[in-house]
Amino acid sequence: MNSTVAADVARLQDMSVSQLARRFEEVFGEQCRSRHRRYLIRRIAWRLQANSEGGLTERARGRAEELADDAEIRVTPPRARKPNEGVPPDTIKIEPARDPRLPPPGNWIERDYKGTMIRVLVVADGFEYEGRRYRSLSAIAKAITGSHINGFLFFRLWRKS
């Protein structure tokens, strides 16, 4: 790579994304549709080097066209799979392990907080408090206290021995 191309490539690092997009349009002669800085730097640097060194040989271009002609092109999108398609019928679905500190679904977790009894229902996919579903006890504790706090500590669910 000659020194002018190396200097041009080095200057790309100091350009803003807008400047890189303009430079991309100058070098490639087409509208830039990306705002990804690293991608633009790499593409522009590649094109600058290819332009200075002559790009691909005619033999390489011809081979690329041959390969492209032989490639199968999909003309229709793949068909949508049904949820259980491709899954053997004897496959057993394993439920994720529940935290041993939590009571089983259908039970209540209670705690007195500032003179108010807090009651949270444990459901299969989370928790229910005052008619709303929550994914974690920490989210409920935050809704109650207004600050981030560990849900297990707030509800005093210590590790079972």
Question: pLDDT tens digit string along 55-77?
Answer: 778 898 888 888 877 767 767 77
| pLDDT given for residue 150 in this prediction | 92
38, amino acid identity: R
Decide if 106 contacts 124 (C-beta within 8 A): no
Tell me the β-bridge partners of 122. Answer: 127
| pLDDT given for residue 56 in this prediction | 78
| pLDDT given for residue 90 in this prediction | 67
| pLDDT given for residue 65 in this prediction | 85
Which residues of the chain fall short of a pLDDT of 50? 161
Tell me the β-bridge partners of 134. Answer: 127
Question: pLDDT tens digit string along 136-151?
Answer: 999 999 999 999 999 9
| pLDDT given for residue 122 in this prediction | 93
Q: Which helix (H) or strand (E) holds 119?
A: strand 116-123
Decide: helix, strand or coil at residue 47.
Answer: helix
| pLDDT given for residue 88 in this prediction | 67
Q: At what angle do helices 17-28 and 37-53 cross, to 10 degrees?
A: 30
| Encoded tokens for 42 | 């790499």
Whether the CA torsion 22, 55, 45, 71 is positive or negative: it is positive
Q: For strand 132-134 and strand 108-113, is the pairing parallel, antiparallel, or unpaired?
A: unpaired
Backbone region of residue 66 per phi and psi (left: phi > 0; alpha: psi in -120 to 50; beta: other values): alpha
Sequence-distant (6+) residues with CB within 8 A of 64 are 56
